[in-house]
A and B are shown apart, each in its own frame.
Chain A
Amino acid sequence: MRRSRLALTITFLAASGTMLLHSASAAVESEEVRFENHRFVPQTIKVTAGKPVMLKVTNASEETIEFESFKLNREIVMTPHETITVRLPALNPGSYDFYDDFHQDVPEGAIVAK
């Protein structure tokens, strides 16, 4: 009796975990940004507030850049033609900066969560 209850509990937890993981991955929003001609394109990325975001960043230039966001606590060096995926948590409504920390003359971009 006790053993079957334990098996049932484990099955329930495993099923819940799988469902949670599945629903979590399904709820993720995907966005893309490219660095080319010494600027980020697009410069403003609109995302849904309250949803995690997978941001694909491509450095399409011949320069090494540092994709950085102070507000989002992200800092990643990117060599020419490198693509990375930045995982962002569900954001509160607002504007979140991102910039190339190696080149101060590159216009700053923004992720706007609404």
Chain B
Amino acid sequence: MIKCPQAFVMGLLLFTPLLCPHQARAQLDPWEFEVYPYATEPRGMLEVETDNAVVANGHSQGGNGTAAGTFRSQAMWYNGNELTYGLTDRIEGAAYLNFAQPSGHGFWWAGDKFRLRGRLFDQGTLPVDLGWYLEFEYHKTPQFDDAAWELELKPIMEKDFGPLSLIANPVFEKVLSGPGGNQGFEFGYRNGVYYRWTRYLSPGVEFYGAIGLIDDNDPLGEQQHYIVPVVWGELPHGIEYNVGPGIGLTPGSDHVFVKFNLELERFVGAIFGPTLERSWFF
């Protein structure tokens, strides 16, 4: 396990200016190790996606690492299945079915998620391309979380420098029902740096983490921070992939997991017409 080398922490500081330890318990969505770009699903397109993460070296007690419920994270397989549809040129809607296989406990339904995501203005209009993300999450308690309903808000920022794309998704999460419902927002991040090499194989590095409540952070050792080198691209028949190992950077993180996401999109027909000239939201 990597014990928080200074260089990594300095890198994380660049992405999370709010890192300063205190109390509380943060969490991170292990069903979806994915960084969202500015671009939404094109109008009329339907995308089927399966996001997977297997914890190769985790924690033996529930409530630690990526496991926010009573099951332990060690050898857990997180399986999220997502259906996304491009409602307009700027807004997409998605529904998720989350499953998990805790070690020795068979395959469980772990919860659902519903979300809207959008992009603002045309790509390249602003110096940084901006988007938004609004999600409601339901978790099966107490096995996979201690809170049943949560709200997640994410501004999306993307900037291209030639073949390099920098993407930041700061995460603001609020418990709506369950323990912590009377507390404020938690803060986390999902950030990525991607190099467009070829359509079929390109490298990238992703960063995931959570620090706890915004006004009352977890002690650094209990926070979760991961660095995930990935390869991504297109397979035959238009299947897209994103695969890589996740390495925990703090004792509170799982030590190693492997993520593998696959997605396939097809045009099924648009409900709405093209976005009007000068429209910036819808």
Contact = CB atoms under 8 A, between A and B. Distances in A.
Pair from one complex: yes
Interface string B199-228: 100000000000000000000000000000
A74 B267 contact: no
Contacts of B26: none
Contact of B165 (A66, A73, A84, A101): A73
B102 interface: no
A77 B86 contact: yes
18 contacts: A64-B44, A64-B267, A66-B42, A70-B196, A70-B198, A73-B123, A74-B123, A75-B42, A77-B42, A77-B43, A77-B44, A77-B270, A79-B273, A84-B274, A85-B122, A87-B124, A89-B124, A101-B238
Interface string B257-273: 00000000001001001
Nearest to B42: A77
A102 interface: yes
Interface in A46-86: 52, 64, 66, 70-71, 73-77, 79, 82, 84-86
Interface of B: 39, 42-45, 86, 89, 122-125, 160, 162-163, 165, 196, 198-199, 238, 267, 270, 273-274
A56 to B, nearest CB: 12
B42 A73 contact: no
Contacts of A45: none
